[in-house]
Amino acid sequence: MTETKTISGFPIKGFKEGLLITLDDKKWTKVQSQLLSQIDEKAQFFNGAKIAIEIGERSLRAAELARLRDELFDRGVKLFAILSNSQVTNVNAETLGFETRKSVLKDSPSAFKDAILDGEPGLFIKKTIRSGTSIKYTGNVFIDGDVNPGGEIISTGSVIIWGKLRGSVHAGVEGSEKEVVCAIELDPINLRIANCSLKENKFLRKLKNRPVRAEVIDKKISLNYWESKK
């Protein structure tokens, strides 16, 4: 299970089957364009993902659903489920072979319930944290940007940085050693997880320009390549 994230105002929840994206009720062509644009911007994150889309009361034709499926497929994303309160949309989705709310709940009644109820508190910030800025949050923190020298993040949970960490991070500030700190590039002024501090680490030089995951192992912060968990 992953924490809730947001792309361009669309909530995303992780569950065992993939990602659940909830779209708003704006005009369909605008919403679809907005979704695809954001997936293009986060291509590495979404590449290979399986997604279900919640569209509420919106009625969509089979051709509209097929077009979205094809657009997503071209981006390396598999659309496998359409969740709708519209009977018209559900019939068209089933005709195209998509799972719907009815089939999903029948096959796995707790899947989407768990996606909503079992998430963890999270803060999403879409900007660079500049010198003099201090972020303090109870929960997980996701930064879509860099953390510059002089910038600081203090969190009771994990800290995920979709950018460069050059400032300071203290994850698990209340003592939780299960938290992690991940960044596309890691060269912090100060990095702490719970009561453990990152000492001078020669491995950092080998990790330069590579995504890095920091975690506590045997009361010490260990650094490894940040790779997806199978």
Q: How many CB atoms lie within 10 A of CB 101?
A: 17
Q: What is the pLDDT of residue 225?
A: 86
Q: 102 and 127 share a domain?
A: no
Q: For position 29, which CATH number holds? A: 3.30.70.260
Enter the pTM of the model: 0.51
Task: Classify residue 171 by its DSSP letter.
Answer: E
Q: How far apart (Å, rounded) are the C-alpha atoms in residues 116 and 119?
A: 6
Q: Which of 193, 182, 166 lies closest to 228 in space, CA to CA?
A: 182
Q: 128 and 111 share a domain?
A: no
pLDDT digits (tens, 9 = 90+) for 91-101: 999 999 999 87
Final residue in a domain of this structure, among 117, 132, 156: 117
CA separation, residue 208 to residues 149, 200, 201, 204 (Å): 17, 14, 12, 6
CA separation, residue 169 to residues 101, 129, 133, 175 (Å): 41, 11, 12, 14
| Residue 230, domain member (yes or no) | no
Q: What is the pLDDT of residue 65?
A: 95
Q: What is the pLDDT of residue 13?
A: 77
pLDDT digits (tens, 9 = 90+) for 19-57: 888 888 889 999 999 999 988 888 877 888 889 999 988
Tokens of 170: 């203290």
Which residues does the chain have with pLDDT short of 70? Answer: 1-9, 15-17, 103-121, 200-208, 228-230
Give the amino acid at 114.
D
* E strands, 85-207, in order: 99-100, 122-125, 134-137, 140-143, 152-155, 159-165, 168-171, 180-186, 190-193, 196-197
| Residue 60, domain member (yes or no) | yes
Final residue in a domain of this structure, among 82, 117, 152: 117
* E strands, 57-126, in order: 78-84, 99-100, 122-125
Q: What is the pLDDT of residue 19?
A: 84
Q: 91 and 127 share a domain?
A: no
Domains held by the chain: number: 2
Helix H or strand E encompassing 92? helix 87-95
Determine the structural domain holding residue 150 and report its residue range. Answer: 122-225
Q: 57 and 157 share a domain?
A: no
Give the amino acid at 175.
G
Helix H or strand E encompassing 214? strand 212-217
| Residue 91, domain member (yes or no) | yes
Tokens of 127: 């900007």
